[in-house]
Amino acid sequence: MKNLALHWQILIGMVLGVLFGLGMTQWDSAGTPEVHEGASFIKDWIAPIGTIFVNLLKLIAIPLIIASLIKGISDLGDISKFKQIGFRTIGIYVTTTIIAVSIGLTIVNIVKPGSGISEETLAKLIEANQTDQSASANIAGKIETAAKTIDSGPLTFIVDMVPDNIFAAASSNGDMLKVIFFTLFFGISLLLIDKEKSVIIKGFFDGLNDVVLKMVDLIMLIAPYAVFALLANVIVSSGDPDVLVELLSYSFTVLGGLILMIGFYLTLVYFYTGRSPVGFLKAMAPAQLLAFSTSSSAATLPVTMERVEEHIGVEKEVTAFVCPVGATVNMDGTSLYQAVAAVFICFALDHPLTFADQLTIVTTATLASIGSAAVPGAGMVMLVIVLESIGLPSEKLAIGLALIFAVDRPLDMCRTIVNVTGDATVAMLVGKSVGKLGPPKVRDWDDNLEAVK
Closer to ligand ASP by CB, 68 or 421: give it. 421
Give the single-character DSSP code of 247.
T
- Kindly state whether residue 254 participates in binding ligand ASP, applying the rule CB under 6 A: no
- SS3 for 385-403 is HHHHHCCCCHHHHHHHHHH
Q: CA–CA separation, 60 vs 138, rounded Å?
A: 29
Note whether 96 binds ligand ASP by CB under 6 A: no
Amino acid identity, residue 34? E
Minimum CB–partner distance for residue 377 and ligand ASP (Å): 5
Phi/psi region, residue 30 (left: phi>0; alpha: psi -120 to 50; beta: rest), is beta
Q: Is 412 in the site for ligand ASP (CB under 6 A)?
A: yes
Residue number with CB closer to ligand ASP (209 or 295) = 295
377 belongs to the binding site for ligand ASP (CB under 6 A): yes
Residue sitting closest to ligand ASP (CB): 379
Asked if 330 interacts with ligand ASP (CB under 6 A), we say no
Position 376 contacts ligand ASP (CB under 6 A): yes
* 78 dihedral zone (left: phi>0; alpha: psi -120 to 50; beta): beta
Is 378 among the residues that bind ligand ASP (CB under 6 A)? Answer: yes
Q: Interacting stretch for ligand ASP, rule CB under 6 A, among 106-114, 155-163, 225-233, 411-419? A: 411-419
Binding of residue 372 to ligand ASP (CB under 6 A): yes
Q: Closer to ligand ASP by CB, 295 or 389: give it.
A: 295
Measured distance CA(367)–CA(84) in Å, rounded: 23
Spatial distance between the Cα atoms of 241 and 238, rounded to a whole number of angstroms: 8
Strand partners, 437: 314
- Interface residue with ligand ASP, options 96, 251, 297, 328 (CB under 6 A): 297
Within 8 A by CB and 6+ apart from 10, the residues are 223, 224, 227, 285, 286, 289, 290, 293
Choosing from 9, 296, 328, 364, the residue that interacts with ligand ASP (CB under 6 A) is: 296
Exactly one of 283, 318, 374, 385 binds ligand ASP (CB under 6 A); that residue is: 374
37 membership: H or E segment, kind and range = helix 37-41
Farthest CA pair distance, the chain: 76
- We find the least distance from the C-beta atom of residue 425 to ligand ASP, in angstroms, to be 15
Residue 356: which region, alpha, beta or left (left: phi > 0; alpha: psi -120 to 50)?
A: alpha
Beta carbon nearer to ligand ASP, 287 or 392: 287
Binding marks (x or -) toward ligand ASP, 414..443, rule CB under 6 A? -xx--x------------------------
The least CB distance from residue 277 to ligand ASP, in Å, is: 22
Question: At 451, phi and psi to the nearest 5?
Answer: -115, 115
Q: Examine residue 331 and tell whether it contacts ligand ASP (CB under 6 A).
A: yes
C-beta atoms surrounding 441 within 10 Å = 10
Q: Which residues pair with 275 in a beta bridge?
A: 451
Comparison of 209 and 296: residue with beta carbon closer to ligand ASP: 296
Kindly state the DSSP code that residue 384 receives in the 8-state scheme: H
Q: Does 251 bind ligand ASP (CB under 6 A)?
A: no
Span from 86-94, 161-169, 229-237, 410-418 in contact with ligand ASP (CB under 6 A)? 410-418
Residues contacting residue 50 through CB under 8 Å, at least 6 positions apart: 226, 227, 229, 230, 233, 293
- Near ligand ASP by CB under 6 A, which window of 66-74, 224-232, 408-416, 422-430? 408-416
Residues lying near ligand ASP in the complex (CB under 6 A): 295-297, 331, 334, 372, 374-379, 412, 415-416, 419
